[in-house]
A and B are shown apart, each in its own frame.
Chain A
């Protein structure tokens, strides 16, 4: 967890009504403003807003993960059209528009997940679409005030006040005022745009202490066990209950598997990139029919291994931010936290622990 001691130079106070001013100022500057909106009863999503009246501040987290703004659920990569003489005209879909986007009210966990995604999408290949979307977007996070029992950001190095990848972290106050912590140049630009309603915080100002999120497991200990247990009955046990649906992966802010499909008629078509997930058997099935991950056990193992072993080995961090969406979404009560705590207890007690009795 980050220290709560924040450099005072980065802190600003915003007067009541700042949100309305912010939306209006940004709108005036031709910026697309995205903010939390109640799209249906009890459901809040980030959506483009024209005025601050549509914005809701009463939310635990948004339903869909933030990744969709940079890595959309479905996007056109190129278009093709048949031409006379049997030629095919291929047009690369233009890159995302350059209109600046400001997200007002992302949650710190969703924003922190972009650190993992940035590493993947800039790894062996620079994903131009992802990068262009990242570059045009300023992320104004709202500090998390009501983590619930399924949240576990503190177990994976995060915090309700995590500033990772945020441009500004906003601490909302009851009276409509806010404390703002600038975390990047983009953030400084945002503060500058809001200069009429924001002023440097008085000396000695510090952000409030973050609400408590219980630490539930230690990824380092889990990794030590994972290093030794690619083959283990544990995976069979975990997979027994798993229905192999993709709810956990699709809602995960760090999962980034995709599928490339062509959709066409006899004249023209599109190549698209769509979200996919390692729980689905089709994800790894070869054209020959061979499937290197032939059963749910190997697929469940992949999901855990990828997040807590392969990803740390390659990128030096776990691919999990502890937002708890997977725990809430699972309709059979399968639970990343319980799997990781089981692994941790195995790591402590050697592999003698009775698998069947630690699970379910």
Chain B
């Protein structure tokens, strides 16, 4: 673990100031337990606790997942530590009117990437310096040029395979699913109070962890995130069965990119592909 001490110090003082001036009721950031392998989400409500915040290269979690929660909202205005990638999720929450911009104080953190080796999302990240935050702690970092061909590499590695090979791969992967719903609960954009898999009249998705139910669940999950997913990769990280969910999301993001030139979460004002249309949209394969 490498603690970024400059950012950590500025972060602590910014959080303490926001809390002591009453500008926010809570600051959501990262903390670190001794001996822990990752930094974890932390809720700070008193200025004197701000010194427990930390920013290092293991701040994997996407804190935006907490924003739609009633318990968190009831604490008042929310200060939230955001990396560029987290900001994309918040932009989607804003464009979907799940949270109001006025209820948030965005504490941007320039980030050169998380994990060692770097997470995939970090190696293709073009948001090292979050834009549109209320404040930025730490100095801007250099934004390296990214290799856009790598953006969808996990999906691309499967695109080359035949239909039968893909089914063999995915039926094997999806058979592992135990339906714990960690992928859903960790996703900042899966904020439905009652998920489609929990609906019983009709029962769209079999809740049993057999392949039939697992395929239906994973198709539904992927499709509900199409044009919305910002590629934070939390679902794949959370999956206790190591199912490569990121590849599915990449595939759908790639389609949105190729068909509509759309990248989700770059601005709170964007229109999601499935909420709009063009008369001359691609129409291949319609009879």
Contact = CB atoms under 8 A, between A and B. Distances in A.
Q: Which residue, B35, B45, B182, B238, has most C-beta atoms of chain A within 10 A? A: B182
Please report whether the interface of chain B is mostly helix, strand, loop or mixed according to DSSP: loop
Q: Which residue, A64, A280, A338, A360, has most C-beta atoms of chain B within 10 A? A: A360
A245 to B, nearest CB: 4
Q: How large is the interface on A (under 10, 10 to 19, 20 to 34, 35 or more residues)?
A: 35 or more
Contact of A331 (B46, B209, B238): B238
Contact of B178 (A250, A296, A334): A250
A78 interface: no
Given A74-B210, A239-B71, A333 B40 contact: yes
A331 B31 contact: no
Nearest to A360: B42
Interface in A247-288: 247, 249-251, 259, 261, 263, 272, 274-275, 277, 280, 282
Contacts, number: 102
A63 interface: yes
Interface in A215-246: 236, 239-241, 243-246
B182 to A, nearest CB: 4
Interface string B43-58: 1011001001000000
A250 B241 CA distance: 11
A357 interface: yes
Given A261-B208, A338-B33, A245 B238 contact: yes
Interface in B190-246: 198, 203, 206-210, 234, 237-238, 240-242
B36 A245 contact: no
Q: Which residue, B45, B71, B181, B209, has most C-beta atoms of chain A within 10 A? A: B181
B208 A240 contact: no
Nearest to B58: A333
B71 A245 contact: no
Nearest to B184: A245
Contacts of A247: 180, 182, 238, 240
Contacts of A275: 178-179, 209
Given A149-B35, A247-B240, A333-B41, 7 more contacts: A274-B209, A329-B182, A331-B234, A332-B40, A333-B33, A338-B33, A360-B40
7 contacts: A243-B65, A250-B180, A250-B240, A251-B240, A259-B207, A274-B209, A356-B46
